[in-house]
Amino acid sequence: MVWVSLRTTRTDRRAPLRTPTTRCTTMSLEWLMDWSWSLDGLRDFIATGIQSFRDCDATALAAVACLLVLFVWYCYHVGREQPRTYATVNALMQSAEANGVQNGYVYCHSPECVRCTHHDGLNQKLYHNLQEYAKRYSWSGMGRIHKGIREQGRYLNSRPSIQKPEVFFLPDLPTMPYFSRDAQKHDVELLERNFQTILCEFETLYKAFSNCSLPQGWKMNSTPSGEWFTFYLVNQGMCVPRNCRRCPRTYRLLGSLRTCIGNNVFGNACISVLSPGTVIAEHYGPTNIRIRCHLGLKTPSNCELVVGGEPQCWAEGRCLLFDDSFLHTAFHEGSPEEGPRVVFMVDLWHPNVAAAERQALDFIFAPGR
């Protein structure tokens, strides 16, 4: 019998059988070694960064630190303030009755009203409003408004008699008594497409004149002769809820106009009626930042609008655009049989007032500021 010794090979000694427990232990050791290497790398990275800062110029480091402090302060300051919310046309629809809107038009009860104030402190008030806007939003694009407010007195006093806005003049705007339809093409075409809608709602309103001298919602304006009535949907940036409910389709149409002024005191929308024999005295509008649009609803013969000495006639279903900061008048010299002259009037932004300027002017001249 031959005895053979049993030996494990070298391979068997170096590669013992691995159980799950052994495998987990090995992975944990490898992970700890890797993490130790990561900590070493992070320590080296931090040391390198510190050395880089030490090598930098102390003045540069101080400047960076100051900028960082200013940025943190600015973020805190802006985040702490609540932006001022000023009313939109739709919001005022719900609250205007509680703010002095009676019988279809605004009664101004505040001596601080920018639209109705004409005193030496007006420019300071406007400048304060501009500063408040710029602090909360931006000075970007405010150069022309800033220039206009700073020199408002000079502009208003030195304007030629043909154009003299009574409240605010924005410099460097193209000046002309009448504008072409292309100046606000979208809104002009939209109004003209809805001519019949507006006319129908006016005819429903006008039936009330057979029952009383001045129906509710209508306003009688002062004229040298004749009668001039207006029915406001928006008056000085304020909705007239009762009137808007009586002309719902016309009111909704206002919301579809891209350039309608609805959020500041220079914005109006109304039906304007001149009875035969009426003459409106020559007068100036409050500002040159808007274009007044007249959509002819009923246009008898011998009716004219004169702006800056240039006469124009209305046409039914057509829009007439003009700058009412020019000296202007209107008259109806037709016969009583022809009936009244009727237009739908709405104020649109001047096409050369930029979007940033419109936003700022809405803030500065918001109703009630």
| Structure confidence at residue 332 (pLDDT) | 96
So what's the pLDDT on residue 267? 97
Top pLDDT among 282 and 105 is at 282
Q: Average pLDDT, stretch 7-17?
A: 45
CB burial string 249-284: b at 16+ within 10 A, e below: ebbebbeebebbbbbbbbbbbbbbbbbbebbbeeeb
Total H helices, total E strands in the chain: 12, 14
Least confident of 26-30, 245-249, 298-302: 26-30
Mean pLDDT of the chain: 80
Q: What sign does the dihedral 70-72-75-78 (CA atoms) show?
A: negative
Give the side-chain half-sphere CA count within 13 A for 78: 12
The answer to whether 314 touches 243, Cβ cutoff 8 Å, is no
H/E segment holding residue 81: none
| Amino acid residing at 161 | S
- Measured in whole angstroms, the distance separating CA 268 from the mean position of its chain's CA atoms is 15
25 compared with 214, residue with greater pLDDT: 214
DSSP 246-263: HSHHHHHHHHH-SSB--S
What are 303's strand-pairing partners?
332
pLDDT at 215: 87
Interatomic CA distance for residues 145 and 135, integer angstroms: 15
Arithmetic mean of pLDDT, 2-13: 44
Q: What is the DSSP string of 16-42?
A: PPPPHHHHHHHHHHHHHHHHHHHHHHH
Report pLDDT for 156. 72
Most confident of 7-21, 87-101, 108-122, 279-293: 279-293
Distances (CA, A) of 154 to 25, 26, 98, 338: 88, 88, 38, 46
Q: Poorest-confidence range of 33-37, 76-80, 110-114, 148-152?
A: 110-114
Q: Is the pLDDT of residue 8 over 70?
A: no
What average pLDDT does range 229-236 have in this prediction?
96
* Residue 289 pLDDT exceeds 80: yes
Is the pLDDT at 263 greater than 70? The verdict is yes
Answer whether 198's CB lies under 8 Å from 251's CB: no
Q: What share of the chain is helix, strand, coil (3-state, %, to 5)?
A: 45, 20, 35
Worst-scoring range by mean pLDDT, 104-108, 127-131, 166-170, 328-332? Answer: 104-108
Best CA proximity match to 264, nearest among 348, 138, 336, 147: 348
Question: Are 177 and 307 spatial neighbours (Cβ–Cβ below 8 Å)?
Answer: yes
pLDDT at residue 4 tops 50: no
Render pLDDT for 69-97 as a digit per residue (tens, 0 to 9): 887 777 766 555 444 343 333 343 344 44
Give residue 104's pLDDT.
Answer: 37
Which stretches of 111-194 are DSSP H helices? Answer: 122-136, 143-150, 152-158, 185-193
Name the band, by pLDDT with cuts 50, 70 and 90, for residue 209. Answer: confident
pLDDT tens readout for residues 46-76: 777 666 656 666 676 777 788 788 877 777 6
pLDDT of 362 > 80? The answer is: yes
Q: Which tokens is 338 given?
A: 């022809």
Contact 347, 266 (CB under 8 A): yes
Q: What is the largest CA-CA distance in the chain?
A: 149
Q: Residues with Cβ < 8 Å from 260, sequence gap 6 or more?
A: 187, 254, 267, 269, 346, 347, 348
pLDDT beyond 90 at 354: yes
Residue of 238, 285, 292 lying closest to 260 (CA atoms): 292
Q: Indicate the burial class of 144 (C-beta count within 10 angstroms; 0-12, 13-18, 19 or more).
A: middle
- Cβ-based neighbour number of residue 214 at 10 Å: 14
Average pLDDT on 98-119 reads 44
Q: Which fold has domain 104-365?
A: Jelly Rolls (2.60.120)
